Amino acid sequence: MPRPEGHQPVLVAEVVSGLAAAPGKHFIDGTAGNGGHTRALLSATAPDGQVLAIDWDPSAVARLKVISQDPAMKERMLVAHGNFTTMEEVARTLGFTPSGGCLLDLGLSSLQLDAPDAGFGFDAERLDFRFDATAEIPTAADLVNRMPVGKLADVLRTYGEEPLARPIASAIVRLREREPFRQGAQLAAVVAGVYRHHYGKPSRRHPATRTFQALRIAVNQELENIQAALHSSLTLLPPGARIAVISYHSLEDRIVKQFFREYARPCRCPSDAPRCTCGGPYLAVVTRKPVVPGDAEVAANFRSRSAKLRIAQRLFNQTPLIKQT
């Protein structure tokens, strides 16, 4: 079955190798999207391995269900709708044990970025940015049309690392008084205008990239969800299973790196504790440095250029008592 046109999964061979996929193993693809990594894992685990494919986007779930009817994948591919923070609950409900591990690909698919009606791109017909358009959460339009200027600037600065956060927020608040923001092109044009005013020259990439990223992260609570999913993996994965995470910007990668490092520590007890009671370490870091796409992959798929893959393996120690922050 052909892949959806325009979308190419990243670091496929590296994911399959890094997860040590082999016949008979079971995996969770917590961000299955268009099924690229799911297909590769099913191929590597044939003839009797299974993959539980989970996605938050209902349109992606519909595509995955079509893929699962392929005779080569039927009976071995399970599909579920849900945020990857719920993968432990989904797996237990289905009686699925990820003996091999799980994958989290934190990027948007090309289909989401390129489709004007998906609500993510610079030409989006509506400022939505929700991964699940049926979720009862504020949209990007709600944020830009309602947030006070200071709070909006904080969102752009914190989640987009946008150096012009305050001027952009001020321009948005000033212009929304004339007409509410409803479409991606409206917002992109305002941000581009601020960039031209401050820098007087074209940006190497679209000047609204950081603003759109920040709003998408805020709408979907992406960073909080990453933390929750990583903590969930410690109780979900059996000893020996691996977790692979592909991130696309420094905020995501920093969370993954720090989480792996923290739970790979031999002891997490307070420094004044008379003896170790934490039971660590819980993870072994497989990738000391992130795995990144080679030149050939970037040439074939420019959107892969920022991808970073990190992998850790669950150890045989007890499940930690986790205090989430």
Architecture of domain 12-111+222-314: 3-Layer(aba) Sandwich (3.40)
Specify the pTM. 0.88
Residue 191 has pLDDT above 50, yes or no: yes
Residue 291 has pLDDT above 50, yes or no: yes
What CATH number belongs to 117-220?
1.10.150.170
Predicted confidence band of residue 1 (pLDDT cuts 50, 70, 90): very low
Predicted confidence band of residue 153 (pLDDT cuts 50, 70, 90): very high
The mean pLDDT value of the chain amounts to: 90
Provide the residue ranges of all domains of the chain, joining segments of one domain with +.
12-111+222-314, 117-220
Residue 323 has pLDDT above 60, yes or no: no
Residue 240 has pLDDT above 90, yes or no: yes
User: Hey, how many other C-beta atoms are within 10 angstroms of the C-beta on 295?
Assistant: 7
User: Hey, how many other C-beta atoms are within 10 angstroms of the C-beta on 23?
Assistant: 10
Residue 112 has pLDDT above 60, yes or no: no
pLDDT at residue 318, rounded to an integer = 63
The rounded distance, in Å, linking the Cα atoms of 321 and 235 is: 10
| 107 vs 155, higher pLDDT | 155
From residue 142, give the alpha-carbon distance in Å to each of 19, 112, 129, 150. Answer: 40, 20, 11, 16
**CB contact set of 286 (below 8 Å; sequence gap of 6+):** 18, 242, 311, 312, 313
Answer for the pair 257, 175: CB distance below 8 angstroms, yes or no: no
Q: Name beta bridge partners: 242.
A: 101, 313
The share of the chain scoring above pLDDT 90, in percent, equals 76
pLDDT at residue 308, rounded to an integer = 98
Residue 189 has pLDDT above 90, yes or no: yes
Rounded mean pLDDT, 34-46: 96
Predicted confidence band of residue 325 (pLDDT cuts 50, 70, 90): very low
Per DSSP, the three-state class of 73 is coil
**CB contact set of 26 (below 8 Å; sequence gap of 6+):** 45, 49, 50, 51, 52, 96, 97, 98, 99, 100
Answer for the pair 112, 57: CB distance below 8 angstroms, yes or no: yes
**pLDDT tens per residue, range 200-231:** 887 888 999 999 999 999 999 999 999 999 99
